[in-house]
A and B are shown apart, each in its own frame.
Chain A
Amino acid sequence: MKLLAIIWNTVYDSIKRITLLIYLAIGTIIMLTVLLGLRVEYTDGVPVMLYIFGNEIPIENSMFDPSPMIFIVTIGGSLVGMMLFGMFATAGIIPSFLKRGTIDIYLSKPISRFYLLFAKYLGGVSAIGAAMFYFFAGMFLIVGFKTGFWNPSVLYVWLLSVLFFAIIYAMASFFAVISRNIGVVLIVVYLHLFIFSDVIVSYQNIPLGFLQTKTAEISFTILHYLLPQVQPMIQQLIGIFERQMPPVENGFDIMPFVYSFLSGMFFFLLGYLKFRNTDY
């Protein structure tokens, strides 16, 4: 009950933040645009023509399913948006919670420090999960109704996207506990998401001598497993649309999620240990 109260309060607080509202508004506009701009023409029950914003695309193969293409563009964009807006909306949850005057009240209640931090963390993840569900489920329904192609992979992608966010947010939680500063959290997370994670997987292509050494190779291998594997996870997410369901049988590689999940747990645990031992 206590855990649920904290999670619900955190979700409510996050949903009301302007950044998340912007994400929801953009999502709504995209959904409305797809709703208005997408149409499939049928002849004798067989799809023959796809209209996307006035462009005619003949459907030569009756098995042709346009939904992966639509999802890759819209959902893929939404993931990037969620990383930007979602992280912005939730990065302040733990630093605000750790402020004097707030943390004192929470710590004076009969709840362990682990549950307090975990509930705040789950609250942040739930807020983003709910916002993403609104968009993903909306797209699933709109594309299904408009084209007749019900592509359930979008719901799998939603689940994995929430896991993806949860992993990144665990890392953010660690930096939030040690810095208690929203700016530090955002800088570190964005650096990892948009720069460092790229460097880790493609350092060998960078024409710098010191990156071609054995030491660099060992260091980057360690970092690859220690930090959330952003690029491999995104590749797998996008691949789900292309390969269709069920993902694993079609070559879906779950290992980037497994390694990243362990990395997220590691960061959360480190954050908890710091939280447990800190004087407030």
Chain B
Amino acid sequence: MNPIETQGLTKIFTSGLMKRFEVRALDDVSINVSKGEIFGLLGPNGAGKTTFVRILLGITYPTSGNALLFGEPVSRHYNKKKVGFLPENHRYPMHFSGEGVLRYFGTLSGIDRSLLSKRVDNLLHLVNMTQWRKMKIKKYSKGMLQRIGLAQALINDPEILFLDEPTDGVDPVGRKEIRDILKRLRNEGKTIFLNSHLLSEVELISDRVAILKKGQVLKSGAVDEFTTTGDEYEIKYDGNIDDTLLNKIKSIDASVRLENGTLYIAAESKETVNSVLDTLRSNGIFVKSMSQRKSTLEDSFINLINEEQKI
């Protein structure tokens, strides 16, 4: 049993008189997330990422298909005792202090009062907010609110953590801290479902990802499957590569392009690469460095989205 399972999940929003206008926010989405993994859901704005999470939390109802948490329908609200959620643009009553937010939502999560104080202390320390625990949240910066939001999502020591843009508004140091917290939680066996359009962040911490567009899963799999090493090499050099030399290289069965003083060659065999290097050197070009080019998650994401648009 996976902590998160969906089968053929479809959500159609209707609006207008007689519900004439329909928007298919999710279209037959089937995603399973295993225990102890960080799963990243990616997609452009309006792809249906937030709708997907909202359905899993019972905030929005599916039009068809199944959504299960711990093998049970999401409508069983007692399962939410084991779930934490940090929504995008979360708001709390403004009269609260950071500590007050944790105490209030901890109580709503059903935590015993005796346990709550200890947990509040630990979480404030974890998100580095102990110093500002008594300050009213209306005085908090966006980054501080995100930290308190994360602590709020963790207050019930959840088995599944849903995070919607968790590093939004957080500075680079804070982002690193949040990444470290998430990795630690994964190592403790927590399942983390991450919605983000900060692809570099997702790439750094996710085990598996799915790319959603217009409500449909374009591709899903391990992060490595999206960031495979290609046959392209990046060569930095000193010297002048003119058209004659460029054509000479092209004649060695290599695809070549020159961009911003960097030479990119795509070759199927190592011999070809060596031949290109020999040709460069014999023409007085000094090769400063060469590296095999690895596509990033962002490259894969953009390629997938663009391919889809062409279709």
Contact = CB atoms under 8 A, between A and B. Distances in A.
Contacts of A1: 107, 110
B93 A108 contact: no
Contact of A108 (B59, B92, B104, B107): B59
B10 to A, nearest CB: 13
B108 A2 contact: yes
A101 B91 contact: yes
Interface in A17-69: none
A107 B58 contact: yes
Given A5-B108, A9-B104, A107 B59 contact: yes
Interface in A88-122: 99-112
B93 A13 contact: yes
Interface residues of B, number: 31
B286 interface: no
Contacts of B77: 110-112
B120 interface: no
A5 B81 contact: no
Contact of B57 (A2, A6, A107): A107
B88 interface: yes
B85 A104 contact: yes
B83 interface: yes
Contacts of A103: 59
Nearest to B88: A101
Interface string A128-163: 000000000000000000000000000000000000
B73 to A, nearest CB: 15
Interface residues of A, number: 25
Contacts of A280: 54, 59-60
A123 B81 CA distance: 24
B58, B89, B93 — most chain A CB neighbours (10 Å): B93
B80 A109 contact: yes
A102 B88 CA distance: 10
B81 to A, nearest CB: 5
Interface in B67-95: 77-81, 83-85, 87-93, 95
A249 interface: no
B59 A9 contact: no
A105 B152 contact: yes
Contact of B83 (A5, A106, A108, A112): A108
A12 interface: yes
Contact of A105 (B61, B81, B105): B105
A2 B93 contact: no
Contacts of A101: 87-91
Nearest to B152: A105
Given A16-B95, A104-B85, A110 B110 contact: yes
A2 B108 CA distance: 5
Contacts of A106: 108
B66 interface: no
A220 to B, nearest CB: 30
Nearest to A104: B87
B76 to A, nearest CB: 10
Contacts of B140: none
A2 B110 contact: yes
Nearest to B62: A279
A106 B60 CA distance: 13
A108 B92 CA distance: 14
B153 to A, nearest CB: 8
B91 A102 contact: yes
Contacts of B105: 105, 109
Given A105-B105, A110-B109, 4 more contacts: A104-B87, A107-B58, A110-B79, A110-B110
4 closest A-B pairs by beta carbon, nearest first, are A108-B85, A104-B87, A101-B91, A279-B60
